[in-house]
Chains A and B, each alone.
Chain A
Amino acid sequence: QKEVEQDPGPLSVPEGAIVSLNCTYSNSAFQYFMWYRQYSRKGPELLMYTYSSGNKEDGRFTAQVDKSSKYISLFIRDSQPSDSATYLCAMSAWEETSGSRLTFGEGTQLTVNP
């Protein structure tokens, strides 16, 4: 079983829709939770970062972390065609001997249709 599970989609929505992306994880040591966006032929870029549990909002994007359920979500409001990309959840835990490294979900491919 993978440490981080993410539905790969693909997900297709009309412009203006609310998009919900989710990941579940099994490693309770994870403290840092990230969402990356990756456009075709590009490297991932950080969208949102949350430490421990809670919500974080940035414009049209909201990230939620529920550590008790080992579940994280990314909501995109008023989705735009420019949001069409692959969205990757990522997590990490700090370890004294080895620092931190990112564990990624498989990524969800999102298409927003005009």
Chain B
Amino acid sequence: KAGVTQTPRYLIKTRGQQVTLSCSPISGHRSVSWYQQTPGQGLQFLFEYFSETQRNKGNFPGRFSGRQFSNSRSEMNVSTLELGDSALYLCASSHYITSGGFGSYNEQFFGPGTRLTVL
């Protein structure tokens, strides 16, 4: 079974530009989450999509947005790039769970990430 794929793997942009990153989840997974990883902050949750709807959102400004398509593929967009947006952007896919409790944890499978550098 193919893993989570992310494109592009590396990206260099300048301040003020916008960027779109793409994520293809594992076949059969319908939930896609995005994370930002930086040396000082670690991994921070951006948002989660299920069935083309944003189900959960982290504490990031509105410049960060995303969407999910009917085939579960997802894109995230960052507008008006700032130097501080330089990071590794990770996408994770999982099955969707409908309740908590023992045994309900849904493992998130991560892609290799997109390394974004803002100059």
Contacts of A41 in B (CB 8 A): 112
Q: How many A-B residue pairs have CB under 8 A?
A: 70
| B77-119 contacts to A (CB < 8 Å) | 90, 92, 96-97, 99-113
**B113/A43 in contact, CB under 8 A:** yes
The range of chain B's interface size is: 20 to 34
Contacts of B105 in A (CB 8 A): 32, 49, 51, 92, 100
**B100/A101 in contact, CB under 8 A:** no
CB distance from B41 to the nearest CB of A (A): 7
Interface of B is mostly: loop
**A99/B97 in contact, CB under 8 A:** yes
**A94/B110 in contact, CB under 8 A:** no
**A43/B112 in contact, CB under 8 A:** yes
CB distance from B58 to the nearest CB of A (A): 7
Closest to B56 in A: A98
Closest to B4 in A: A43
A-B contact pairs, 20 of them (CB 8 A): A6-B42, A31-B100, A42-B112, A43-B90, A44-B90, A51-B103, A51-B105, A88-B42, A98-B55, A98-B56, A99-B97, A100-B105, A100-B106, A101-B48, A101-B56, A101-B58, A102-B33, A102-B108, A105-B42, A107-B42
Q: Give chain A's interface residues, CB within 8 Å of chain B.
A: 6, 31-32, 36, 41-46, 49, 51-52, 88, 90, 92-94, 98-107
